[in-house]
Amino acid sequence: MQLQGKTALVTGANSGLGKAVATALARAGARVLMLCRDAGRGAAARDEVVAATGNERVELLLCDLASQAAIRAGAAEVHRRIDALHLLVNNAGTAFAEHGLTADGVERSLAVNHLGPFLLTNLLLDLLRSGASAGDGARIVNVGTRIDTAMDFHDLNWERRPYRMMGAYGESKLGNIHFTRELARRLEGTGVTVNCVFPGVFLSNLGGTDGAQNRALKLFAKLFGWALQKPQRAAQRVLYLLTADEVAAVSGEYFGDRKPIPAPLQADDPAANAELWRLSAALTGLDGGAG
């Protein structure tokens, strides 16, 4: 896909992978909306992207994905700014050391990592359909991870099990694959595709703001971070799915480095994908959703 004249929205765009993707899209000439939760971090990153690329059509969109009210307000703001969206990258993600619920009563990892992109994407689907109607299609990329797990649909809030940070993170990120599969089914024939990508392991601030990174982990990253790949490298996997001609019609897949990779078994079950959609729609007050 040619990016000149296209509009992209990247969530979690002030750091790590999201910033690298936003920078590459801006460099290629797209108008980029950088969704960030913190005004200071967001403005600093937006200025950095503009300085690095010379593209002034880079905008900050403030939105905390942990809040459904904020997501609805953010989506309304996107509708005020643009008439069509061509690329949506659901990249924001985090982990929490302790169990906690959001103001909406949802376990925090599930809220930010799964329900956030679920609700935001559904609220932007009309803009993506408009983007697709221009001829080149529109593409959604959900950034997942590679943890072999299964979601407990009877305890999405981790109230009946002892909370485990990586357990909650892994299940919420599996939600990204379930969501991708069911959304692809609902979007068949619309010109809007959706895929999920495992970006590889790379150096970032993942979980740093929300306290998931303890001192030992921070020290490890400081000492051995040089051995990990940089977010710019991981961004290539996302950019491939956003722009490569050979995947223009591919939808509902889970990719690693330019190739589909196996997903946890539960995400191969269409009934499980539909069930998580149903539960997510109920938890976000979305009736029906796409399709």
Ligand X SMILES: NC(=O)c1ccc[n+]([C@@H]2O[C@H](COP(=O)([O-])OP(=O)(O)OC[C@H]3O[C@@H](n4cnc5c(N)ncnc54)[C@H](OP(=O)(O)O)[C@@H]3O)[C@@H](O)[C@H]2O)c1
Query: Alpha carbon 168 to chain centroid distance?
Result: 17
In the bound state with ligand X, the residue whose beta carbon lies nearer, of 30 and 174, is 174
CB of 139 to ligand X, least distance (A): 17
CB of residue 93 to ligand X, shortest distance in Å: 2
Residues that bind ligand X (CB under 6 A): 12, 14-18, 37-38, 41, 64-66, 91-94, 112, 143, 145, 173, 199, 201-202, 204-206, 208-209, 231
Query: From the CB of 228, what's the least distance to ligand X, in Å?
Result: 7
Report the residue number, 134 or 219, with the smaller CB distance to ligand X: 219
Q: What are phi and psi of 5, to 5 degrees?
A: 85, 0
- Which entry of 163, 169, 240, 254 is annotated as an active-site residue? 169
SS3 track for the chain: CCCCCCEEEEECCCCHHHHHHHHHHHHCCCEEEEEECCHHHHHHHHHHHHHHHCCCCEEEEECCCCCHHHHHHHHHHHHHHCCCCCEEEECCCCCCCCCCECCCCCEHHHHHHHHHHHHHHHHHHHHHHHHHHCCCCEEEEEECCCCCCCCCCCCCCCCCCCCCHHHHHHHHHHHHHHHHHHHHHHHCCCCEEEEEECCCCECCCCCCCCCCCCHHHHHHHHHHHHHCECHHHHHHHHHHHHHCHHHCCCCCCEECCCCECCCCHHHHCHHHHHHHHHHHHHHHCCCCCCC
First and final C-alpha spacing in the chain? 24
Which of residues 95 and 132 has its CB atom nearest to ligand X in the complex? 95
CB of 288 to ligand X, least distance (A): 25
Smaller CB separation from ligand X, 105 or 135: 105
Minimum CB distance to ligand X, residue 38 (Å): 5
Which CB sits closer to ligand X, 203 or 250?
203
Report how far residue 266's alpha carbon sits from residue 54's, in angstroms, rounded to the nearest whole number.
44
Shortest distance, position 19 Cβ to ligand X, whole Å: 7
If the CB atoms of residues 132 and 267 are measured against ligand X, the closer one turns out to be 267
**Known catalytic residue: 169?**
yes
| Residues belonging to the active site | 169
